[in-house]
A = this chain, B = another copy of it.
Amino acid sequence: MAEASGTARDPEAVSRFVEHFAAQLVEAGLARMPARVFAALLASDAGVLTSAELGEQLKISPAAVSGAVRYLSQVHMVSREREPGSRRERYRVHGDQWYEALTNREAIIKRWEDALREGVTSLGAHTPAGRRLEETLAFFEFVEKEVETMMDRWRAHREKRFGRG
């Protein structure tokens, strides 16, 4: 079907993957443009693309690219680089760092925990509702700890299977 050999990539095959994977990300709650930009980076051979390349490949305006990458770098799913001696900006998925970011819903979990703690206090720790909130809180605290050790195990697993990036 596609001439998958040598150096040329089939842009259609790439696009199919990008749109399909982006759709899954959208379903999981990511906004559309960030999802598409991220998928495009993930599917690029170098793991790096310029704004212009992103805009062209995804058929979106510079403004849309700008908004998407701003979001993505805020949540550390991509990093931006200035290619020296040029005003072109480049965006990169960093193999490692992005799924670390995924599990780093930490900021979010922390806020859940804060809200729950407040609830326990204001509803009363000795009430049934208070106790339910307390248990929920305990769950998140537990998960938080576990995720940390899980990522350690992943890094070990990864190195064994793929070598040090």
Contact = CB atoms under 8 A, between A and B. Distances in A.
Interface of A: 2, 4, 9-10, 13-14, 16-17, 20-21, 24-25, 27-29, 42-47, 93, 95, 99, 105, 108, 111-112, 115-116, 118-119, 122-124, 127-129, 132-133, 135-136, 138-139, 142-143, 146, 150, 153-154, 157-158, 161-162
A51 to B, nearest CB: 19
A13 to B, nearest CB: 5
A111 B26 CA distance: 12
A47 B123 CA distance: 14
Contacts of A25: 112
A57 to B, nearest CB: 13
A146 B153 contact: yes
Secondary structure at the A interface, as helix, strand, loop or mixed, is helix
10 contacts: A4-B127, A17-B118, A17-B119, A28-B105, A42-B136, A95-B135, A99-B136, A135-B158, A142-B157, A146-B154
Nearest to A25: B112
Contacts of A42: 129, 132-133, 136
A87 to B, nearest CB: 27
Given A108-B27, A132-B95, A136-B42, A20 B161 contact: no
Nearest to A19: B115
Contacts of A127: 4, 9, 45
